[in-house]
Chain A
């Protein structure tokens, strides 16, 4: 199994994601420069957080035109696992691989803080090692993480169980008080209809080490490697 971490100009969670795959999962991982187009040999592509192209124009709007994105699209259409975190989620929405958009936080400020996430669906390849209803503590760090979609799209992703994570209280209660950015239905992460492309605003790569205060993010990375192991064995 091999992970690829895409680096756009302005990406900054590339090294953090690489570190988790390499030092926590102990799995093979390589960086993929945004001008590269050959994804042969990769089993999971991670689009990490950051400010690709400075988030100028609109978050992810320029990155989606990077040469690598055509290959990522083909990779996803062929069933490969694609995982966008923060800016990666925004890029996936901009490129149409995920439905909806991420708009400015409703309070108009950037927020970096711990949030509680309720795992809504443990049938996904990204959460197979978690329990549905389980609450994990994962930090956010964004100014544009307010998930929005028209009501038909929203109904559809809810109906298809594409919502994987919702912002919640530590006890798992979904309410306005525990919504850090105004996201519709407290949505923190969704998959595409086929389930092989995940985007989420929170940063699980920041909580895979007891020294940093939490290891709750590990369950996502371990689910991915578990899925890949089953696929490749």
Chain B
């Protein structure tokens, strides 16, 4: 029997150890236990999340490969092309070592994508930190952004978008979620499989070192308090090797001579090899001494569990070995046969001919699954019954209030971040970061892909089910604002410790909300990642599902960004028939937190209206009527209007008649609203398309030269609003 300390290091419970002994019919040795620790971790085995993930629909005519069968689902986009995409977290490594944590997060998600034979064409990332005015949070923020910049820019994939959010709950536990989109010709698709018995296992890329051992089990699957001891478990990235690995692997995939291709991510060689064996319904025999090392004296245990980056596992038939080897030689990438596939259905690990570990593949890949009896957190009732009468209308007036919100780190321009990322390489970026979603063209076709990542921890905290729906709705709305139709989703579930019934309640209900919205939008969830145990000193983060939505447009030339284009264009609000909204639309708003220091209320959404509004927006863009479209979300109507002014370098003359409370009208965050602008000559066709879609709309005003005015409320020079909004993130006072 192993002592508790060893089991803790592997994040296995004593009950789970008992299960292993019972199913094996013997005690595992140290190496074998290490394999179980990795594959039965939350990170690889999805012990707490798998039963919930079954709620996501995976039935859609566009799906060429079902999610779950592979690293990611594969989506048909016509003309023989398909896309794959996925978002993945690197939260815990980034908390410990922000630069390398974030850098290797990018590297990992990119390998997931080219493992399927797809060329990576876009990166996005969703980042969350504690308050930016605390020095340690600033350090994490700067380190993470530099890490993404340092790794991503080197590998030639445009970083086209994402989000950066600050909230106290992420102090000490930042969220770093990276997303990658890849495109492939359908016949070039590769799979993570051994293809049955009689093939060779070939390891390519970096020499294996001692870095990242226990990353999956120790780092990603439990909470931690003292991070110093864990620093060696964070891997160090080599983006140059990743870049040549991409080219060499894609050349190999396109040759049609690969049986299988799999990345080495969490749990390294262990998970790559065992997953391929499970998918190929075969056994594997690994000669661990054949694995090239960059460190001496490594034990088989260390080689199997190392998370050294920039490695891929290929399955090749012996007659194709020389051909494949020549490709890697050309790119100067190391390429070694390290084993073969067998018919035993076992994972056999040899060192110098001596059998060191021998485990059935099916037991390794069948971790126990847990369904926790959830308990509705008690804080919900209190926040839902919030007394809105306690919220006074700010005495400083609407213009000053707006400036304060434009200056808040969540609302202010993220240009200081995005300009550190190459967002143009590959020359496809039609709509750049800083808009609702980004849009890239697909060369050789008229198609375009729009992409957005979105999450709202505050709303999910206030109402996990509705928050889950809103996360999907907002991501899709962002995509629809470019003119593209959201066709598929990916997600990353960032939550606290799921063994706590209140946290499990949040997880369960967010997933339920997301699944419901995914069905309503007919956008399947094609991939995902789960990051649990996001807690520091017993305090869980906001429940934060991050949604990546990808949309398809058949005519990329017909698109919209958020900026106003011409003086004299009329500005309308889609999805509203008046400016009077209930005070409860301040629930979870930026205004409520920034101005009143409160996170309270109960958010709502009318999903049916949401879908109609998005469809109307896409139809209007498709009919070439619109000059701009901007999702009205964080910060409310006034902030969205200011952003359209700033982005277009133009002003607006608006009036919002008949409103009772100006703070609700300007800063309420009711969902399902889009601000559009167009030439007045299109008014009739605009009305027609709105009424065809049964969507209400109301005129806000007209684009003008320099000032942003809302009659009787706001009077602001656009250049002043622009300076405030642009400079806020850079001039944050650091009280070191």
Contact = CB atoms under 8 A, between A and B. Distances in A.
A98 B651 CA distance: 47
Nearest to B158: A112
A211 B448 CA distance: 11
Nearest to B149: A110
Nearest to A111: B419
Interface in B143-164: 146, 149-150, 153-156
A212 B427 CA distance: 8
A9 B149 contact: no
Given A19-B443, A112-B423, A206-B424, A54 B156 contact: no
B374 interface: no
Nearest to B331: A9
Interface stretch (B204-212, B238-246, B543-551): B238-246
A115 B243 CA distance: 27
A140 B329 CA distance: 33
B719 to A, nearest CB: 16
B153 A141 contact: yes
B326 to A, nearest CB: 13
B426 interface: yes
B424 A51 contact: no
Interface residues of B, number: 32
Contacts of B430: 211-212
B422 A112 contact: yes
Contacts of A203: 424
A12 B299 CA distance: 38
Interface string B427-450: 111100000000001010000000
B420 interface: yes
A160 interface: no
Contacts of B243: 9-10, 12, 51, 54
A13 to B, nearest CB: 7
Nearest to B240: A54
Interface string A43-59: 00000011101111000
Nearest to B241: A54
Given A12-B156, A12-B243, A53-B240, A141 B422 contact: yes
In this complex, the member of A12, A15, A109 whose beta carbon has the largest number of chain B beta carbons within 10 angstroms is A12
Interface in A188-232: 203, 205-206, 209, 211-212
B244 to A, nearest CB: 5
B556 A110 contact: no
A143 interface: yes
A16 interface: yes
A136 to B, nearest CB: 16
B557 interface: yes
Contacts of A212: 424, 427-430
A54 B421 contact: no
A214 to B, nearest CB: 11
Interface of B: 146, 149-150, 153-156, 238-241, 243-244, 331-332, 418-430, 441, 443, 556-557
9 contacts: A9-B243, A9-B332, A10-B240, A13-B156, A54-B238, A54-B239, A110-B422, A141-B425, A211-B430
By Cβ-Cβ distance, the 7 closest A-B pairs, closest first, are A54-B240, A12-B156, A51-B154, A16-B427, A141-B422, A112-B422, A9-B244
Given A13-B156, A19-B443, A141-B422, 11 more contacts: A10-B244, A12-B243, A16-B427, A51-B153, A54-B238, A54-B239, A54-B240, A110-B420, A112-B422, A141-B153, A212-B428
